[in-house]
């Protein structure tokens, strides 16, 4: 039986491997990441304290890492990061733009390190009008990460004016290859829509693959069902954003997804977590 791929760092000295050990669970070598960089793109995700409150809930629920822009991270209680890693997102673009697929760098690796980040992430839209610029930015960040010993998460998407809405499995595998060739340590990819085709993508990619949660699903249980299907493909982890912070019960969904990633992989058992009440505790 094929085992899940992992993010477990190799036993070599260096800042990158040490930081990677905070992003992945030391027992399983896998990770559950919650991206919360959406507010630049779509606007506020909630009240002014939404990020602080949600990150506290995620830390209690067992999430391994959260993705934030550097300015938003300043509004989060730093004690939350005693229990989870901080990934600072370096790319930005808005839905108000004339080119909604365009992404530019709005921060750097050194900026992220000054905040205490464990890793950085970049967003690249392959097939966009600005693909060339985005690839140049990706390469520049990758070189800086290598110099400073910082893990790089590449969020790779097939988006542009001359392509269909849903990428094929072959296109998703191509995105994984680009991330690998340009020096990413982890790649976030869309789900192919089927376990077998997603497994083929994972098998073609030498770096760990985390799968995006996509658009908000109708129910919290549907989120867990989707996660179970994805995890059966042998991925290294999940990167679910709006299906967590936008859930009816974010604490319960995050707890369930953490359990599934790190051992309880059947949605039926993980669904027991939906009975949990949301809570926020201090470190």
Residues 243-260 pLDDT 10s = 999 999 999 999 999 999
Average pLDDT, integer, range 58-80:
97
pLDDT at 19: 94
Kindly list the structural domains of the chain, giving each domain's residue range(s) and its CATH number in brackets, ordered by start.
15-269 (3.20.20.70)
Q: What are phi and psi of 144, to 5 degrees?
A: -65, -40
Mean pLDDT computed over every residue of the chain: 90
pLDDT at 260: 95
Determine which one of 188, 190, 191, 220 is catalytic.
Answer: 188
Please report which confidence band the pLDDT of residue 6 belongs to, taking 50, 70 and 90 as the band edges.
low
Poorest-pLDDT segment among 102-106, 140-144, 213-217: 213-217
Cα-based distances in Å from 14 to 10, 48, 148, 208, 229: 10, 37, 10, 19, 35
At residue 267, does pLDDT exceed 70?
A: no
Determine which one of 16, 101, 157, 190 is catalytic.
Answer: 157
Q: Considering the entire predicted model, what is its pTM?
A: 0.90
At residue 280, does pLDDT exceed 80?
A: no
Q: Structure tokens of 226?
A: 């989707």
Give the SS3 label for residue 121.
strand
Alpha-carbon torsion (122, 30, 8, 175), positive or negative:
negative
Cα-based distances in Å from 175 to 23, 158, 189: 22, 8, 8
Does the annotation mark 16 as catalytic?
no
Does the annotation mark 191 as catalytic?
no
Determine which one of 37, 101, 137, 220 is catalytic.
Answer: 37
């Amino acid at each position: 039986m094929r085992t899940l791929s992992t993010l477990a760092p190799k036993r070599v000295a260096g800042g990158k491997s040490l930081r990677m050990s905070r992003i992945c669970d030391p027992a399983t070598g896998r990770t559950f990441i919650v991206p919360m960089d959406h507010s630049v793109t779509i606007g506020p995700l909630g009240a002014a304290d939404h990020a602080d409150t949600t990150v506290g809930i995620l830390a209690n629920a067992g999430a391994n890492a959260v993705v934030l822009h550097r300015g938003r991270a300043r509004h989060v209680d730093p004690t939350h990061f005693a229990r989870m890693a901080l990934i600072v997102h370096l790319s930005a673009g808005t839905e108000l733009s004339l080119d909604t697929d365009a992404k530019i760098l709005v921060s750097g690796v050194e900026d992220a390190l000054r905040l205490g980040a464990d890793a950085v992430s970049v967003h690249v839209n392959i097939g966009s009008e600005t693909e060339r610029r985005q690839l140049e930015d990706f390469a520049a960040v990758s070189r800086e990460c290598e110099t400073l010993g910082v893990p790089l998460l590449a969020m790779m998407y097939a988006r542009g004016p001359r392509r269909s809405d849903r990428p094929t499995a072959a296109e998703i595998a191509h995105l994984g290859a680009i991330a690998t060739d340009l020096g990413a340590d982890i790649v976030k990819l869309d789900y192919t829509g089927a376990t077998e085709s997603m497994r083929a993508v994972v098998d073609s990619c030498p770096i760990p693959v985390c799968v995006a949660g996509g658009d908000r699903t109708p129910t919290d249980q549907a989120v867990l069902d989707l996660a179970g299907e994805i995890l059966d493909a042998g991925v290294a982890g999940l990167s679910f954003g709006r299906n967590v912070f936008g859930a009816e019960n974010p604490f319960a969904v995050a707890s369930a997804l953490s359990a599934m990633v790190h051992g309880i992989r059947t949605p039926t058992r993980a669904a027991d977590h939906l009975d949990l009440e949301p809570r926020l505790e201090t470190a």
